[in-house]
Amino acid sequence: MNKSAFYKISYGLYVITSGKEGRFNGQIANTVFQVTSEPPTIAVSINKQNFTHEHIAASRRFAVSILEEATPMTMIGRFGFRCGRDIDKLEGIRTRIGKTGVPVVTDHAVAFIEAEVVGEMDCGTHTIFLGRVVDCDVLAAAAEPMTYAYYHAVKGGKSPKNAPTYQQETPPKPAATPVARAARYTCKVCGYIYDPEKGDPDGNVAAGTRFEDLPADWVCPICGAGKDQFKKEG
Ligand code: FE
């Protein structure tokens, strides 16, 4: 079985928010899809260990914000690699309260969909929640929605271990003849690779900056881990 076949499935990138009574959380998901048109129904697969899972299970409602290509990695990292039990992920993020009472993330969102849970399926590590759509709208008609392929190829994004589409990656083989170049460093928390040739555009770090020369307070653009959480490649 060649699981690379799964990479040929097209996905998008979404922020899922849920909660009630002033307690809310959000997370990144790529597994959202429309199930039926009439009545309008969508589904999302959520890891049972995620804080958002607790919120959806208890409040029976959730919102989906469809992210644009230009979404900075810091925002994806905030919702995808941090835990809502540790930080308020919605702090400083633009939202609006939807019909369900759930804050809908509007920052970098091309559209949103709000749904009430009408069914669920236990899938072992994950639950698929089926949601009857109660509201939806386009927020930025001209912006391109981000595909999961774009997130990986262009943004250099990773899948967290609790994503339904996570696969263990095999590290690249070192070149037979090592070439003299500034070392790349890997974040031990989320797998982000700091490549000196690319720098960190979201963090205003110019291309060509060596890892050693990054400011001491520089943090991983994906998960917010400090420099001490990085391991030299090779
Ligand atoms: Fe990281």
pTM of the entire structure?
0.80
Cα(158) to ligand 1 centroid in Å equals 10
Asked if 45 and 128 touch (Cβ cutoff 8 Å), the reply is yes
Residue 20 has pLDDT above 70, yes or no: yes
Question: Which of 213, 191, 175 lies closest to 73, judged by CA?
Answer: 191
Cα(193) to ligand 1 centroid in Å equals 8
DSSP conformation letters of 146-202: PBHHHHHHTS-----TTSTT--PPPPPPPPSS----PPPEEETTT--EE-TTT-BGG
Q: Which amino acid is at 206?
A: A
Instruction: Name which residue leads in pLDDT, 110 or 149.
Output: 110
The least confident of 6-10, 52-56, 123-127 is 6-10
Question: For the residues 217-234, what does the mean pLDDT come to?
Answer: 88
Contacts of 202 (CB under 8 A, 6+ apart): 72, 73, 74, 221
For the stretch 38-91, pLDDT in tens is 999 999 999 999 999 999 999 999 999 999 999 988 888 889 888 888 889 999
Asked if 159 and 166 touch (Cβ cutoff 8 Å), the reply is yes
Residue count (the chain): 234
Instruction: Name which residue leads in pLDDT, 62 or 176.
Output: 62
Cα(192) to ligand 1 centroid in Å equals 5
Residue 171 has pLDDT above 70, yes or no: no
Mean pLDDT, the chain, as a whole number? 90
